[in-house]
Amino acid sequence: MLPLSRARLWAELLLISALWGSSFPLMRHVAGVMPPLALATARGAFAALAVGLFLWWRGALRWPGRRSLRHILVIGTVNGWLPNVLTALALRDIESAPAALIQSATPLLVGVMAFFLLREERPGPRMALGLGLGFLGIAVILGPRALDGGATLGAALLMLGTAASYAAGTVYMRWARPEEAGQLVMGQQVMAVLIAGTLGLAFGAPGGFAQPASIWLSLVVLGVFASAVPLSLYVLLLRRARATEAAMVGYLEPPFAALVAAFLLSEIPEPRVALGGAVVLLGVWLATRR
């Protein structure tokens, strides 16, 4: 597969970021009434259904091989049920934009992990400068009251755990480079459903799934358009772009999360977000420049 041009890389980063960024206000909307494990199970189920129907339509739906099962187990954990549960727990005590901003540490963590685990992708001076500017932009956006929005230290740590989990998944996929992207995405969602569902039955209550139609509509949108579609695009992107480049979606998600949260939940960000966003975009430009 041919490497991406810089323009195509930016286009894909923005599309994936817009779809994934919308997941934060959607999850916050649902997390207020639905237990975290039930939410993670339902999100994975709708995502798995969407991917499964697409693969069936293309005639590519089949049982994964033994090697793919190992990848599915790893990715289904670090990029599947674990960050879904952590995010659902955190969004009970933190607003959408701050949650997305804290998760923006993902590219930084990917850069650190890549330095030790991906020798051919160790960040150079320009990449390091871009990552540093991205972190500075996030700090400006958060401002002196970094945990505004009803956030608690526990919620912030949960979102950092989510960032670390996604970073590990990004580096693993770039290292393993699995061939069957569709099977991997499908397997990841099925694994999320199996593990989160099992834990939900063991430690939760089945009544958590008794929700009104509006919540289930939000879960459908969350599972299909804010999970299955961007995840599929991201897995394909990782086959053509460096891990540190692909991870820039973490810096681009917060503005989209803030926009959707303002429309859906009336969570209006402060003016400093514009300044911080400009610094973030400069950092992304430097980090992805060849």
Q: Give the pLDDT confidence score for residue 290 in this predicted structure.
A: 56
Element (H, E) at 21: helix 6-21
The pLDDT, as a whole number, for residue 96 is 84
pLDDT digits (tens, 9 = 90+) for 56-101: 887 877 777 777 788 888 888 998 899 999 999 999 888 887 788 7
Mean pLDDT of the chain: 81
pLDDT of 151 higher than 70: no
Q: Retrieve residue 251's tokens.
A: 């810096």
pLDDT reported for residue 32: 86
Q: pLDDT grade, residue 135 (50/70/90)?
A: confident
pLDDT value at residue 194 = 92
Q: Which residue has the tokens 């590519």?
A: 60
What's the whole-number mean pLDDT along residues 25-45?
91
Identify the pLDDT of residue 222. 93
Q: How far apart are CA 182 and CA 149, in angstroms?
A: 37
Give 158-178 pLDDT, tens digit per residue: 988 998 999 898 888 877 766
Q: H helices then E strands: how many in the chain? A: 15, 0
The mean pLDDT value for 194-198 works out to 91
Contact criterion met (CB below 8 Å) for 15 and 233: yes
The C-alpha atoms of residue 101 and residue 257 are separated, in whole angstroms, by 9
In this prediction, residue 269 carries a pLDDT of 67
> Is the model's pLDDT at 228 over the cut of 80?
yes
Return the domain boundaries, the chain. 6-288
The values of phi and psi at residue 271, to 5°, are -60, -30
Q: Is the pTM of this model over 0.85?
A: no
